[in-house]
Homo-oligomer: A and B are copies of this chain.
């Protein structure tokens, strides 16, 4: 006797823009269970209408505390508040770390309870809020544990960016630049032409809205057909090949977008060494990164042994392949499955040379 089970799990979620995301207060749920970033809460608590049926857990969110211990405190909040399995969605308000960890907790509590994401940073607006990934760090490895678990919806409100500092905004721009290099020339041009306006206006206004919409749409078009990463050859992994280990080595010091953009630059140098892009394109990439005061120089990205260790961990995640996304022009890329030590060494030298030159 053999049996075969064949079924499919339908997934559906929405991402919508709002000029008043904290109006989730109007959402028709009897009890509102909110897990919110402590810093954001201190800035915006006046705007959150709290009634006797609202329960709030504030969490101090750092990459270094995106761990099981923090997850347990969130799970404890669910347990203490007797959350129902289906009809009391958790409202997660914060940056990528908070959204990832709350999503993970919701995915495992009673094998899954619903949740709503409200991102509060430029980075999480265009990144953590878009796909269905959740995670925590472990073994000093980024996102080692996690799940694919969609929220009910994400509410995108770019007004919160107003209260972010320059470094945090640039941190978000890094993921936009990443996406633009490998998939979207139009976004690259917009970011290139409007540095001053975007940064000074803190991503408010028309051009900002345009870049945010393009970034979200672009991410979605990359992710939608590959939500569960059946295909491990992913252009959006650009910038995520060497960076995870280096980011964790410099945890809370090097921000996620900073580690990613350094990886993007190194990978672009590899593309240059492999004759996949010309020097003009490489220099445009370098200068765009520099114009948003993102780092272009980091000694860990010049350490070939460390880079090889980092890549070997990434290989396990890509099932034995390096599947390195490398640009072939502004807005397009190829996935490469080989990289020699001499190529990597020459790419490091090129990255150093660019830093010396500009």
Residue positions of A touching B, CB distance < 8 A? 1-17, 68, 75-76, 79, 82-87, 104, 107-112, 133, 135, 138-139, 141, 143-148, 150, 213, 216-217, 220, 224-225, 227-229, 232, 316-320
Contacts and interface: CB of A to CB of B under 8 A. Distances in A.
Contacts of A319: 84-87
Contacts of A146: 108, 110-111
B12 A9 contact: no
B147 A5 contact: no
A111 B135 contact: yes
26 contacts: A1-B16, A1-B217, A2-B16, A2-B17, A4-B12, A4-B15, A5-B12, A5-B14, A6-B11, A7-B12, A7-B225, A7-B227, A8-B8, A8-B9, A8-B10, A9-B228, A68-B68, A75-B145, A84-B319, A85-B232, A85-B317, A85-B318, A87-B319, A108-B146, A110-B146, A111-B229
Most chain B C-beta atoms within 10 Å of own C-beta, residue among A4, A5, A318, A319 = A5
Contact of A3 (B11, B220, B227): B220
Nearest to A76: B139
Q: How many copies does the complex hold?
A: 2
Contacts of A104: 108
Nearest to A12: B6
B79 A139 contact: yes
Given A85-B317, A109-B145, A5 B16 contact: no
A89 to B, nearest CB: 12
A144 B15 contact: no
Contacts of A135: 111
Nearest to A219: B3
Nearest to A136: B108
Most-contacted residue by chain B among A76, A109, A110, A141 (CB, 10 A): A110
Nearest to A82: B316
A308 to B, nearest CB: 14
Contacts of A15: 2-5
A252 B316 CA distance: 38
A75 B138 contact: yes
Contacts of A143: 111
Contacts of A148: 9, 111-112
Contacts of A220: 3, 5
A-B pairs, 7 with minimum CB distance: A2-B16, A86-B319, A9-B9, A108-B145, A8-B8, A111-B146, A3-B15
